[in-house]
Amino acid sequence: MALDIDVLIVFADADNEPSGNSEGWVSQFKKFLEFMLSQVLTQKPKILLKGEYDTMTSPKLDNVAVLIPVLSNAFVTSTTCVEHLSRFSEATKNARDRIIKVGKFPVALNEQPELLRPLIGHDLYQLDPDSSEIKEYSSYFSPGAERQYWMEIVDLSYDIAEILFQLQQGSPDPVIKNLFNPKIVYLAEVGHDLSVQRNIIRRELQRNGYTVLPTQALPSVSSEIERIVRRDLEDCSMSIHLIGNNYGELPENGSRSVADLQHMIAAEKSQEASKKNATFQRLIWISPNLSLTSERQKGFIETIKRDVELQEGAEILETPLEDFKNIIREELLESIDRKGVKETGGRAIYLLYEKEDHDEVKPYVDVIEKCGFHVLIPTFDGELLEQRIKHIENLRALDAAIIYKGKTNEQWVRMKALDIMKAPGFGRKKPIVAKAILAPHDGIAGRETLQVQNFRFIEGESARSPESLKSFLLEFTS
């Protein structure tokens, strides 16, 4: 479908008033978008502002490929802006698929024109997570603008390019679609402090041929959010959750934030899938740079880490975002061959420990091997992703597991214990015969939960001799 105008930007005149010697906000936005979209399309796009369009072409808007409404309080009270939306909708099939809303200033969903409410938008303003103060960008080359404004424009450009391509070709890019197995992934909505990170991940998933849900803005009422999230999760094999500093506002009639609600519902789906021997995976990224976190958010994060029921089918990672993206790629593209588990003759013991304890565990390794067992150990070489691949291979191959608590903390021990409990989700076909926690220097607090999961504890003075493992190994063979 050939159309005269690639992008038409509709806005309220008040949002484009010049400031001092600078052009108006919308005019500057157009210049940035034109530059970024040129890089994506490899040719200059035809982008017009509302006033330019009105003076040179048909008022029907039937020759416009993509309509961008610039949302603000002035926009929603502008009769002209609302009329442009209405005319575009009347002249265009599947109008919602060709409208991309841009937020210059936050506008509550119930105050937006009805056509725009379900659409996921691109917010181009600053939100102070501590004071909730809204600021427009005054310098488009400031560090803050480069991190958020520029990345959002890049993301917007890819969205526009995808629509233009589909209008020209009639279907998504067949090369991308054929390279990867099509899957549906739920990428949970986040607080404003992580919107850029979420959009980076969303864009990368989409560019690799994945359908990313939700495809519409979540409503403002808690019960409606639950209904939509549950509906979307029915079609997904994985959900991805990003947790940062901001707990988020509570929706109407709700006691949990949107992020908390989505996590709760995904956890429930994990429980249901486990009972049915089905697979539903959750990847949870917790920012390694938490600061000024509210008490409510601290409690939410601690619950995620601590609660065994919420850990079912989940992996929690506190890594740099780039490492997390690599892990997502590995999980979705399934480059780990889950069919290639090596046979160990039923005598493979995975000894989990931290790098700084490597020398301490050597005598224990010797004892295990002398008793006729094959010892699997973690790797500390290479990138994080390579280490994790080896960890998963060991979890799939082990017959028994021993966690060594040396210089590390109890949080690490609990995380490794959860990995062992989740091992069936990595493609194991055989039960784990025995599990132990070896703590020669001190005891383990909060051990009740782990005892329920049949972990044996070898602690204190008795654990300081490698011979202490022999009774455990005898029980393993009996």
The pLDDT of residue 180 is 30
User: In this structure, is the dihedral angle defined by the CA atoms of residues 250, 192, 127 and 225, taken in order, positive or negative?
Assistant: negative
| Residue predicted with more confidence, 33 or 275 | 33
pLDDT of 323 > 50? The answer is yes
The structure tokens listed for 467 are 């011979």
CATH number at residue 134: 3.40.50.10140
* Mean pLDDT of the chain, nearest integer: 80
Domain that holds residue 244: 181-335
- Phi then psi for residue 117, to 5 deg, are -60, -40
Question: Quick one: what percent of the chain has pLDDT higher than 90?
Answer: 22
* pLDDT average, residue stretch 205-212: 76
| Residue predicted with more confidence, 429 or 369 | 369
The pLDDT of residue 228 is 94
Most confident of 39-43, 335-339, 386-390, 396-400: 396-400
* pLDDT average, residue stretch 120-124: 83
Q: Do both 105 and 70 map to the same domain?
A: yes
Q: Do both 63 and 100 map to the same domain?
A: yes
Q: Do both 125 and 208 map to the same domain?
A: no
> Is residue 137 included in any domain, yes or no?
yes
Under 8 Å CB-to-CB from 394, ≥6 apart: which residues? 350, 376, 377, 378
Under 8 Å CB-to-CB from 335, ≥6 apart: which residues? none
Q: Do both 14 and 163 map to the same domain?
A: yes
The structure tokens listed for 67 are 């309509």
> Is residue 341 included in any domain, yes or no?
no
The pLDDT of residue 372 is 87
Q: Do both 147 and 289 map to the same domain?
A: no
**Chosen domain end from 284, 305, 335:** 335
pLDDT of 448 > 70? The answer is no
Most confident of 71-85, 144-158, 391-405: 71-85
From CA 117, how far away is CA 45, in angstroms rounded?
27
> Is residue 176 included in any domain, yes or no?
no
Instruction: Give the relative orientation of helices 410-421 and 295-306 as an angle to the nearest 10 degrees.
Output: 50
Most confident of 30-44, 317-331, 337-351: 30-44
* pLDDT average, residue stretch 377-403: 83
The pLDDT of residue 350 is 94
The helix/strand/coil state of 244 is coil
C-alpha triplet 419, 424, 430: angle, nearest 5°: 125
Across 145-149, 221-225, 278-282, 314-318, least confident range: 145-149
From CA 10, how far away is CA 71, in angstroms rounded?
9
pLDDT tens digits, residue range 272-302?
A: 887 777 778 888 998 888 776 788 888 888 8
> Is residue 25 included in any domain, yes or no?
yes
Q: Do both 213 and 97 map to the same domain?
A: no
Whole-prediction pTM? 0.54
- CA nearest 1: which of 92, 73, 74? 92
**CA torsion, points 15, 18, 22, 23, in degrees to nearest 10?**
60
Under 8 Å CB-to-CB from 210, ≥6 apart: which residues? 180, 182, 183, 184, 185, 332
From CA 407, how far away is CA 441, in angstroms rounded?
9
The structure tokens listed for 101 are 């809303």
From CA 465, how far away is CA 425, in angstroms rounded?
34
pLDDT of 173 > 60? The answer is no
The pLDDT of residue 339 is 42
Q: Count of domains in the chain? A: 3
Question: Quick one: what percent of the chain has pLDDT higher than 70?
Answer: 79
The pLDDT of residue 338 is 45
pLDDT band at 447 (very low <50, low <70, confident <90, very high): low
> Is residue 315 included in any domain, yes or no?
yes
pLDDT band at 335 (very low <50, low <70, confident <90, very high): very low
For 129, other C-beta atoms within 10 Å of its C-beta total 18
| Residue predicted with more confidence, 342 or 155 | 155
CATH number at residue 423: 3.40.50.360
Most confident of 5-19, 117-131, 197-211, 385-399: 5-19
Q: Do both 385 and 423 map to the same domain?
A: yes
The pLDDT of residue 144 is 54
pLDDT of 257 > 60? The answer is yes
